[in-house]
Amino acid sequence: MTPNPAALDFLLTRRSRPAKTLTLPVPTPEELAPLLTAALRVPDHGKLEPWRLLVLTKAAMARLADMAEARARETGGNAERIAKGRGQFDQGNLAVVVISSPKVQDKVPEAEQILSAGCVCLGLVNAALAAGWGASWLTGWVSHDRGFAEPAFGLAPQESVAGIVHIGTETSAPPERPRPDVAALTRWIVE
C-alpha cells in the first residue's frame, strides 16, 4: 500500500464551483486535453467506451441558448423555464457535454454503462479542480428534454446527456456547506 495524502486531502476538501461564478479565461484546447484524458480513466467494464464528449465554446453556447429558449416557448414554458434553459448557455464560456452512449451487447449491463458516463462527469470536474480551474456538473431540463437534446447534441435514440460540465476561472470560492453524516448512512455487515 502506498498512501497518497495529497490526493486524499484533495478529495476530502474538493468543492464544485457554481457555473454562474465561472468566467474567462477558460482552458485552451491544449490545457483541456489532459483534463479530458483524466476524465476518461473511469471504470469501463468490457472497454466499451459507452460515452462521448462534446466541447462547447462560447459561440456554440450562444446558439444553444437561442435553441433552449425556442424549445421552452414551443413547449409552453414559463419565464423561469426559459431563463433556466438560456442561463446554462448564456452564462457559460466553455462546457463539456458528456453523452451516455450505451452499447448493445450481453456482457455489461446498460446500467453500468450509464454509471460509467456519470463517472466521466465527476472525473472531469475533479481533473479541472485539480488543475486549478473552477468546474461544475449541471444537467437541468435541457439535458433531459429529448426535443432539445437530440438536435442540440446530436443524440442517437439510445443516448442521453449524463452532464454538462462547465469549466472556467472561478471568481470566488464558495462557502463550505453541510456534508452527509457518514455514520448515519453507513451500515457495516461483519458476518
45 annotated binding-site participant: yes
14 annotated binding-site participant: yes
Measured CA to CA, the distance from residue 80 to residue 178 in angstroms comes to 27
User: Could you give phi then psi for residue 168, rounded to 5 degrees?
Assistant: -175, -165
Output DSSP code: residue 157. T
Sign of the four-CA dihedral 114, 77, 67, 37: negative
CB 56 within 8 A of CB 96: yes
Measured CA to CA, the distance from residue 83 to residue 177 in angstroms comes to 26
User: Could you give phi then psi for residue 94, rounded to 5 degrees?
Assistant: -155, 135
Mapped onto helix, strand or coil, the DSSP state of residue 144 is helix
139 annotated binding-site participant: yes
Contacts of 101 (CB under 8 A, 6+ apart): 50, 51, 52, 117, 156, 158, 159
144 annotated binding-site participant: no
13 annotated binding-site participant: no
Output DSSP code: residue 141. H
Residues at the binding site are 14-16, 41, 45, 137-139
Q: Which residues are annotated as a binding site for FMN?
A: 14-16, 41, 45, 137-139
